[in-house]
Amino acid sequence: MAAFLLLAGVVVVGYMIFHNIFVKGAVCKSNVKLHGKTVIVTGSNTGIGKMTALDLARRGARVILACRNRQRAEAALADIKRESGSNEVVFMHLDLGSLKSVRFFAETFLKNEPRLDLLINNAGIYMQGSTEDGLGMMFGVNYIGHFLLTNLLLDRLKECGPSRVVNVASLGHNFGKIDFNCLSTHKELGVGKSAMDVFNIYCNSKLCNVVFTHELAKRLKDTNVTCYSLHPGIIETELGRYANSVFLMLLKPISMLFFKNSVAGSQTTLHCALQEGLEPLSGCYFSNCTVRNLYPKARDDAVAKKLWEVSESLCGLL
């Protein structure tokens, strides 16, 4: 019995050390206050987006919750106001799967809000389907919607600089590829409906986020706007929202032990948004609040330029 208790104690202590180092991860150390600043956080009605918005509201920022689902957004709005003690939190409807909605959001924002200091492109989706514009769902929501939104708001960001754009990507971008032939033919990053096909398309959309950030930094050179992409960690709810219920039940014990919660998952986003002195690292990719090296495919200048041009064409910016 004594040996068993000793072994159990070693396992528990070992797991606690593992959890604090590898699961919980680093914490944003910035103490900066944001009074007088305005931020937009897409997909901020749940998960890491909500925790990001809450932290920024606590720092005094005017926070725009840019979300598709009004009911969930209004519930999040009430939570964030109550927990932050701030009344400077506003919901604005944004459906990233609709280019019309993105344009209306940007037009409304620019008309009513004089400042924009931080744009956090956080929203993401993991499911097949098509947007109302005929784009692949993950391509349209995870990437194209944010590409258009960022471009429509860039002038305001420049006016209010120093300002930042933060693109929430994923470690999955390492497994992605950008097939321009598939984009041309299907307006999608891949075809197929198997679990592996869906995973690959998700990874492809996240590679687009990272490549977009690389190109955006080049185009913002000599301005007072910087940009960053990041992996938030493996989050308990990141890929499961639309998954099969049996899969979710099987995944739950693993997620409880080895996945980050939403607070821990928001830390690298907050680091990229707030940490002083990151300007020389514009265009870089972060994980666990630390800049990371990218594979060549994620920083290929020719691919980045072509993706930008294709994206302009698809969302009507040309």
Report CA Rg, the chain.
Answer: 20
Q: Per the residue annotation, which of 202, 242, 285, 295 is the catalytic one?
A: 202
What is the sign of the dihedral through the CA atoms of 92, 118, 45 and 204? positive
SS3 46: coil
b/e map 63-87, b = 16+ CB within 10 Å: bbbbbbeeeebeebbeebbeebebe
Give the pair of three-digit tokens for residue 88. Answer: 């400077």
Give the pair of three-digit tokens for residue 174. Answer: 């390492």
- Is 285 a known active-site residue? no
What is the sign of the dihedral through the CA atoms of 9, 14, 20 and 22? negative
Q: What is the 3-state secondary structure (H, E, C) of 99-162?
A: HHHHHHHHHHHHHHCCCCCEEEECCCCCCCCECCCCCEHHHHHHHHHHHHHHHHHHHHHHHCCC
Beta bridge partners of 286: 230, 291
Beta bridge partners of 64: 40, 90
Angstrom distance (rounded) from CA 217 to CA 228: 8
Cβ neighbours, 10 Å, residue 156? 21
Which amino acids are annotated catalytic? 202
